[in-house]
Structure 1
Amino acid sequence: MVFAVGTKFNIDQLDVHQVRTYHEKERQDMHKILEKYVLICGRAGVRADKLVVEMDSIEKGIVELVSQRGIGKLVMGAAANKCYSKKMTDLRSKKAIYVRLQAPTFCCIWFVCKGNLVYTRESKSERPNTDSVSPSIPVSPENDTVLRSRSVTEGYNEQVGLRGPFNEYRRVASDNHRIIFSGPTSGGTLRANFPSMSSDRSPSVASRFSSSSYGEMVGDSPTISLARTEGNDTAIDSSTLHHFIPGHHQPSSPSIQAESLNDEPAGSMNDELLDRLEQYVAEAEDARREAFEESIKRRKAEKDAIEARRRAKASETIYADELRQRRDIEEALAKGKEEANQMKSKLNKMLADLQAAQAQTSSLEHQLLNSDTTVQELEQKMFSAVDLLQKYRKERDELQVERDDALNIAEALRKQHSNGSSTTSAFVLFAEFYFHEIEEATRRFDPALKIGEGGYGSIYRGLLRHTHVAIKMLHPHSSQGPSEFQQEVNILSKLRHPNIVTLIGACPEAWALVYEYLPNGSLEDRLTCKDNTPPLSWQTRIRVASELCSALIFLHSCTARGIIHGDLKPANILLDANFVSKLSDFGICRVLSEDEFSEKSTSLCYRTDPKGTFAYLDPEFLDTGELTPKSDVYSFGIILLRLLTGRPALGIKNEVQYALDKGNLKDLLDPTAGDWPFVQAKQLAHLAMNCCEKNGRLRPELSSEVWKVLEPMRASCGASSFRMGSEERCEIPSYFICPIFQETMQDPVVAADGFTYEAEALRGWLDSGHDTSPMTNLALSNTNLVPNHALRSAIQEWLQQH
């Protein structure tokens, strides 16, 4: 078995070169370890030689060496170091267990692990006498006898050397085989050259025979050890030397042997030794040849095994392909079954639908029989609705006359009030409060009651004289404080308009202004959904725009020369409980006067330093310092764009202009306001862009151009449409809704495209130059509008019920 990184292979699965490489690496590692042990023994003053044996089983090799060498003491590992524990008392290695059971009983064995003694097997018999198998040549402690054999690859020459206390002798027997006796005075060397040998494992034999100090390792016999060289190893015990030199008798002493050799250098002993060596060389050659043939057979077997493995892999591939095909067929079969089941389910469903259709047909036939009665009832209801409509129209006309009369009376009273008003201080026209009342109302200006903070003061919510009010405290140390206080008192004390905040009173002692309290905060808070307040619907936003336009028209025409607000922005537009908008913060408003510095201009303006919020300020006002009514128109246009998109004021004009140019205005509309009617949204966008013209002369007039656009939109929305987007409403049938206004139709008409629209909305569509259908965008064959009386009657009936 050959071990690789993380796995192992059978040796029969590898070629000869791979096996040799593996064996060579194992030998190198073994020699490194043995060299360390020899070095340790040398440092301790003990002479040690290496003995290497190659066998298929390590544990069997150890037992065989113990038996052959008569080893009486042996130290061996009990287990791998990683398996060691302090509680370990028994052997875990299979090799150690085998040696403990099979080793001769004369050998005492110590089993250790990680430097700790784990188990000791005591010897139970005496070690056998090794004199019978040891060389009979006496050896002194100073001299040793060494037999070395060395092999080289593929054609090895083995040299056997014998060192002893002999003089140097040489004999050349032939060209291929020779015996050389050589050596200094202290010993001699015997060398024999043999032909190379090989086996099925390509073994190379290296043996070293040495005689150590007397009695050092194995009693009186010399110590025999086997060392590995380049090839595989073969064990040679001490008796091998005697087999090489049969019949050789040890002389009585080294000196006697030396004399005999000197007397007979070509004697019969050398001839006999040469004959023996030649015989062994021949036997070795035969063994090498047999090993070579066996190696060829083994290689052929390995090739056959590799071919069989390749065929097995091919068979596995074919099996995998067949298995995959079978799986595909099974999946296709399952899919077919599933489709069949689906078709069966669809068939059952179609049968059920057919039965339901048949039942519905029967029901419709039954309803058709009763349709005549239903038609008569609807006709009666339609006549009643027509009578009711005429009644409502008459009441509307009467209310319009009453409204006109009331407006005339109010205008007359206003003129009368303005002509008879006193030129004295305006404090007498409204309530005046004391400072302690202001403190009590605000709980000594509790920060929890603060609802706003501006550039000139703070605003508190309070209860003053059993009335909820908003108290504006101006900064007394500010340069604008007194002037702003006087300005608002002078203006708001004389103004009364439904969309202008009401000034209840003032406290001159504390520079405080008392207004009516508007619980829904400012328009800015609602556009940004401050404190998670619900957003305003698009209908409410249209109403806020029209109310703001009405308030500005009133300001610009309330006096002989008009008043300019000058700081128009969503933060100064407040909302009451019904989301009615009211304009506030008149601290920097100005009364118009004739332009004294322009000879050619007859316009009214007020020259001052620019003040207010930059994003809403008129560019002409910033350039010239002239505040005109068109300055409020510019600010109104920016507010209108914010109502449409819900985006910040800075840069909004460019964004809307770009969207109009690209035709994607719908993507810019605020989605939180609901589904904007595109026609109205586009009309408002163009109106706002006209109000934001840089040149003031190109801006539209509020009273004529702007009001004519906003007032019809406000009227078309209806009073019931100004609820918040989050409030629950009754579900209106979809065919009651005008596709253009997205509101319940009051006067439905049918166009040439077959769709029903609100008459006012469709006329506005056609009057704006369109000749295509609002729904299909296809050209209309004609512009005739046919009243849809049946739908109108159904709408009126539904409204009466809801």
Structure 2
Amino acid sequence: MAVVKVSAEVVYTEKDSIQKGIVELILEHDVRRLVMGAAADRHYSRRMVDLRSKKAIYVRLQAPPSCQIHFLCKGNIVFTRQGRLNGPRVSISPMPLPPNTNFDYGQNSLSEGSEVESDNGAVPGFKQIIQTPSPSSVIERGINDELYDQLVQVMAEADNSKRDAFEEFSRCMKAEKDAIEAKCKVKASENLYAEELRKRREINEALEKTKEEDENIKKELDEVVEELRMALEQKSFLESQIADFDHTVQDLEQKLFSAVDLLQNYKMERDELQVECDEVLRLLGEMKAEDASCSSVSQSYTEFSFSEVKDATRNFDQSLKIGEGGYGSIFRGFIRHTQVAIKMLHSHSLQGPTEFQQEVNVLSKLRHPNLVTLIGACPDAWIIIYEYLSGGSLEDRLNCKDNTPPLSWQNRIRIAAQLCSALISLHSCGIVHGDLKPANLLLDNNLVTKLSDFGICRVLSQNEFSSNSTSLCCQTDLKGTFVYMDLQFLCTGELTPKSDTYSFGIILLRLLTGRPASGLLTKEVQRALNEERLKSILDPTAGDWPFVQAQQLALLAMNCCDVVRKKRPDLASEAWRVLEPMWEMMQDPVVAADGFTYEAEALRGWLDS
């Protein structure tokens, strides 16, 4: 197809519907010829004679009849809708175009520009030419002058009528154009009004949102103010507490200074008493050297009547009972204005008299800060009266009976050292306890350990006592608690000081681990030592055990529990060397039953004697 060069203007418009916009442009600009697409280029074929575009079909049906429309597809005319002009025949001719101006037949382009003349000179680029027949063509047949004049007059009137008709048509077209413009302005106004309503709605929504945010901010501000007020009150309270603490600290500092002064005075007095104690111990040593044996030393004790014992225990009120076992029952009571523990042996027991006499004889002849103090006895009823120890037994404290707090590792080391000291004192006098266990270790308010229950203890003969203590032994019946008993004693019935050493080792393991005594306890500790995981079996309720001390105690305990008696350490020369430095490190004084204050050095005096 040849390229037609025409002058054209580009008109832009915005519509919701393309096809409706094209029809409105045709009406607005009185377009007489239009070229638009019939379908997309990919739908073209040589046999194509119908329109496939919905836009093209709509324009063909809705465009005014005066507009001739050519529908193209891929540069080929597919369909032409002929236009019908009302009034005189009008020819629309294109104006000359500048060189090299091409006209592209796009799908939605107007063929002769965006506007068509509706009045003379109204639309640039186009020219209307009204063609009427020339008079010379009428006179060719020899019409006379009169007729010619009439014909000229008629033709002139026809020309005037045509001109008037054209002018009327132009006015109609202008009026129609003005109406379309007014319609477009109304529609634009409606769009502006709708846009204004939308903006107002958005503004109202934004105002509501802002109002809500302001309320939330105000609410949050009120909460912050309240929290600030509470914080200020808390600050004032804390400042008041700090001031009180400062006063308390000052008071404590003053008390501490006073206590330091008092302690220094106590140390001076202690040093003086230590000198006196050393002298007394020296004299006791000389006296012991003169005596044949420790058992020959006699010390009297107070005898009480059975009626006094009944009054002290409110006729053995069960609410005053603090212990019971195979030996009998123990009651708490007051006798002669003194709080005591009253042990009543079973009257039907065949061993009752023997155990009573054994315990009274031993406790009446021995004095040690870690042996329970004998107050007196009632021989008629086999009743023994001791000092009352309110701390309970070591067994109860290891089990935290009655919600008592667990023992710290410092207290456990101190208990081990005190027990070792008491055993060394017993063995030096040729006495084997024979029933060493936590239930027979009593504690006072300061957690000072007192060894009790000497009913089945054994006093070795003087001949045996004069020989090496490691070989001292005696044949006796099997009595005591199985898990604390020496295996060789169970097999042979031979009771020696090393039997107490074995029981001491089991107690050390219990203090370290907090676990109950059993046949597996020694194996578990030995396995932990071999695998270097001792900390995993230490009792966590005792606090953070110092590893070096814990390891030393564990090794000492395992040596004490050796199956072979000869391999067990000597308590005085070996075990005490391990325990004494630990005890001295804690610098914890021990108060004896007679009111004197002893430390580790004082106990060493007991051991030396």
TM-score normalized by the length of structure 1: 0.38
Please say if residues 295 and 365 of structure 2, whose CA atoms lie closer than 8 Å, have aligned partners that are also in contact.
no
Query: How far does the alpha carbon of each residue in 1:141-169 deviate from its partner, in whole angstroms, 9 at most, with x for none?
Result: xxxxxxxxxxxxxxxxxxxxxxxxxxxxx
Please say if residues 595 and 602 of structure 1, whose CA atoms lie closer than 8 Å, have aligned partners that are also in contact.
no
Please say if residues 566 and 631 of structure 1, whose CA atoms lie closer than 8 Å, have aligned partners that are also in contact.
yes
Distance 2:439 2:379 in 1: 25
Is 1:527 the counterpart of 2:398? The answer is yes
Query: How far does the alpha carbon of each residue in 1:500-529 deviate from its partner, in whole angstroms, 9 at most, with x for none?
Result: 000110001111000000001000000001
Distance 1:627 1:424 in 2: 18
Letter in 1 for 2:513: T
Q: 1:480 to 1:720 in 2, by over 3 A?
A: closer
Is 1:582 the counterpart of 2:437? The answer is no
Please say if residues 298 and 365 of structure 2, whose CA atoms lie closer than 8 Å, have aligned partners that are also in contact.
no
Q: 1:506 to 1:587 in 2, by over 3 A?
A: same
* SS of 2:442 mapped into structure 1: strand
Distance 1:645 1:423 in 2: 37
Question: Which residue matches 2:332?
Answer: 461
Please say if residues 470 and 498 of structure 2, whose CA atoms lie closer than 8 Å, have aligned partners that are also in contact.
no
Counting only pairs closer than 5 Å after superposition, residues 706-745 of structure 1 correspond to structure 2 as 706-719=575-588
* SS of 1:487 mapped into structure 2: helix
Query: How far does the alpha carbon of each residue in 1:581-615 deviate from its partner, in whole angstroms, 9 at most, with x for none?
Result: 0000000000123799xx99982111112210001
* SS of 1:429 mapped into structure 2: coil
Distance 1:426 1:447 in 2: 38
Query: How far does the alpha carbon of each residue in 1:277-317 deviate from its partner, in whole angstroms, 9 at most, with x for none?
Result: xxxxxxxxxxxxxxxxxxxxxxxxxxxxxxxxxxxxxxxxx
* SS of 2:557 mapped into structure 1: helix
Q: 1:692 to 1:408 in 2, by over 3 A?
A: farther
Please say if residues 621 and 627 of structure 1, whose CA atoms lie closer than 8 Å, have aligned partners that are also in contact.
yes
* SS of 1:455 mapped into structure 2: coil
Question: Which residue matches 1:536?
Answer: 407
Letter in 1 for 2:517: A
Please say if residues 539 and 721 of structure 1, whose CA atoms lie closer than 8 Å, have aligned partners that are also in contact.
no
Please say if residues 488 and 494 of structure 2, whose CA atoms lie closer than 8 Å, have aligned partners that are also in contact.
yes
Question: Which residue matches 1:603?
Answer: 471
Question: Which residue matches 1:624?
Answer: 492
Please say if residues 594 and 605 of structure 1, whose CA atoms lie closer than 8 Å, have aligned partners that are also in contact.
no
Q: 1:601 to 1:595 in 2, by over 3 A?
A: farther
Distance 1:571 1:647 in 2: 15
Q: 1:683 to 1:473 in 2, by over 3 A?
A: same
Please say if residues 391 and 445 of structure 2, whose CA atoms lie closer than 8 Å, have aligned partners that are also in contact.
yes
Question: Which residue matches 1:451?
Answer: 322
Deviation at residue 575 of structure 1 after TM alignment = 0.2
2:514 to 632, 646, 651: 646
Question: Which residue matches 2:361?
Answer: 490
Please say if residues 470 and 497 of structure 2, whose CA atoms lie closer than 8 Å, have aligned partners that are also in contact.
no
Distance 1:422 1:715 in 2: 31
Distance 1:660 1:625 in 2: 32
Please say if residues 363 and 374 of structure 2, whose CA atoms lie closer than 8 Å, have aligned partners that are also in contact.
yes
Please say if residues 469 and 497 of structure 2, whose CA atoms lie closer than 8 Å, have aligned partners that are also in contact.
no
Q: 1:622 to 1:408 in 2, by over 3 A?
A: farther
Is 1:591 the counterpart of 2:462? The answer is no
Q: Which has the higher helix share?
A: 2
Distance 1:580 1:571 in 2: 15
Distance 2:558 2:462 in 1: 28
Identity, in percent, stands at 64
Q: 1:408 to 1:619 in 2, by over 3 A?
A: farther
Deviation at residue 416 of structure 1 after TM alignment = 3.0
Letter in 2 for 1:544: I
Distance 2:471 2:293 in 1: 29
Please say if residues 637 and 691 of structure 1, whose CA atoms lie closer than 8 Å, have aligned partners that are also in contact.
yes
Deviation at residue 407 of structure 1 after TM alignment = 2.7
Deviation at residue 577 of structure 1 after TM alignment = 1.2
Please say if residues 497 and 551 of structure 1, whose CA atoms lie closer than 8 Å, have aligned partners that are also in contact.
yes
Q: 1:701 to 1:398 in 2, by over 3 A?
A: farther
2:346 to 467, 472, 475: 475
Deviation at residue 622 of structure 1 after TM alignment = 1.0
Is 1:668 the counterpart of 2:517? The answer is no
Letter in 2 for 1:472: K
1:613 to 465, 481, 489: 481
Deviation at residue 431 of structure 1 after TM alignment = 0.6
Is 1:511 the counterpart of 2:511? The answer is no
* SS of 1:536 mapped into structure 2: coil
Distance 2:461 2:342 in 1: 31
Please say if residues 595 and 601 of structure 1, whose CA atoms lie closer than 8 Å, have aligned partners that are also in contact.
no
Question: Which residue matches 2:27?
Answer: none
Query: How far does the alpha carbon of each residue in 1:369-400 deviate from its partner, in whole angstroms, 9 at most, with x for none?
Result: xxxxxxxxxxxxxxxxxxx99x98x9979966
Deviation at residue 403 of structure 1 after TM alignment = 2.5
Query: How far does the alpha carbon of each residue in 1:473-493 deviate from its partner, in whole angstroms, 9 at most, with x for none?
Result: 001110110000000111100
Gapped runs of 5+ residues in structure 2? 1-259, 592-609
2:571 to 684, 702, 710: 702
Deviation at residue 679 of structure 1 after TM alignment = 1.2
Distance 2:393 2:426 in 1: 20
Please say if residues 594 and 602 of structure 1, whose CA atoms lie closer than 8 Å, have aligned partners that are also in contact.
no
Please say if residues 461 and 470 of structure 1, whose CA atoms lie closer than 8 Å, have aligned partners that are also in contact.
yes
Distance 1:424 1:602 in 2: 19
Letter in 2 for 1:636: F
Query: How far does the alpha carbon of each residue in 1:444-464 deviate from its partner, in whole angstroms, 9 at most, with x for none?
Result: 111111100121110000011
2:283 to 377, 395, 412: 412
Distance 1:428 1:416 in 2: 14
* SS of 2:311 mapped into structure 1: helix
Deviation at residue 721 of structure 1 after TM alignment = 13
Distance 2:555 2:390 in 1: 33
Distance 1:654 1:709 in 2: 22
Letter in 2 for 1:582: K
* SS of 2:501 mapped into structure 1: helix
Which structure would you say has the larger RCO, counting Cα contacts within 8 Å and 6 or more residues apart? 2
Q: 1:440 to 1:395 in 2, by over 3 A?
A: closer
Letter in 2 for 1:614: F
* SS of 1:462 mapped into structure 2: strand
Please say if residues 451 and 460 of structure 1, whose CA atoms lie closer than 8 Å, have aligned partners that are also in contact.
yes
Distance 1:675 1:462 in 2: 39
Q: Which runs of 4+ in 1 moved over 6 A?
A: 394-398, 420-428, 599-602
Counting only pairs closer than 5 Å after superposition, residues 152-191 of structure 1 correspond to structure 2 as none
Distance 1:422 1:698 in 2: 28
Letter in 2 for 1:449: L
Is 1:572 the counterpart of 2:572? The answer is no
* SS of 1:719 mapped into structure 2: coil
1:637 to 488, 505, 511: 505
2:307 to 426, 433, 436: 436
Letter in 1 for 2:507: I
Is 1:678 the counterpart of 2:547? The answer is yes
Please say if residues 437 and 464 of structure 1, whose CA atoms lie closer than 8 Å, have aligned partners that are also in contact.
yes
Letter in 1 for 2:502: Y
- Once superposed, what is the RMSD of the aligned Cα atoms? 3.5
Distance 1:721 1:420 in 2: 29
Please say if residues 553 and 702 of structure 1, whose CA atoms lie closer than 8 Å, have aligned partners that are also in contact.
yes
Distance 1:720 1:646 in 2: 25
Please say if residues 569 and 616 of structure 1, whose CA atoms lie closer than 8 Å, have aligned partners that are also in contact.
yes
Please say if residues 594 and 604 of structure 1, whose CA atoms lie closer than 8 Å, have aligned partners that are also in contact.
no
Question: Which residue matches 1:258?
Answer: none
Deviation at residue 646 of structure 1 after TM alignment = 0.5
Please say if residues 299 and 364 of structure 2, whose CA atoms lie closer than 8 Å, have aligned partners that are also in contact.
no
Counting only pairs closer than 5 Å after superposition, residues 151-230 of structure 1 correspond to structure 2 as none
